[in-house]
Amino acid sequence: MSGVDKASWDYVSQYASEAEVFAYLEQNNIQRTDLGRIAWRCRQSPDFYRQIIKLLAERHVWDDTLTSYAVYHNDKVTLGSGSSTSIPKSSDRFWTPLS
């Protein structure tokens, strides 16, 4: 008999509540976790995006996929704090008004 492992990241990232996602990340090695699996949550929920970015900052972890949602959410602070290899210096062009 094979069942679904509801404690696995594969399950939690896709089906669990946001609170369960954060509980998993608090209890497991975030650097060994495929954070790209929760990227859809960053697009779906601005609150989730803000919470995950805060958690990443607290843990000193950078994830290109999740932080790329800074553009989607117009999060200039996160864009400005990116590593030089992840966000080009020309990223300021996103914030110049259109003529």
Asked whether the beta carbons of 38 and 63 are under 8 A apart, the reply is no
Asked whether the beta carbons of 57 and 49 are under 8 A apart, the reply is no
* Strand extents, DSSP E, the chain: none
Collapsed DSSP state (helix, strand, coil) of residue 21: helix
What distance in Å separates the CA atoms of residue 92 and residue 22, rounded to the nearest whole number?
31
What distance in Å separates the CA atoms of residue 78 and residue 35, rounded to the nearest whole number?
17
pTM across the whole model: 0.75
Token pair, residue 56, equals 């990443």
Boundaries of every domain in the chain:
9-95
What distance in Å separates the CA atoms of residue 48 and residue 90, rounded to the nearest whole number?
27
Question: What per-residue confidence (pLDDT) applies to 85?
Answer: 42
- Mean pLDDT, the chain cut into blocks of 10 residues (99 residues total): 87 97 97 96 96 94 93 90 47 45
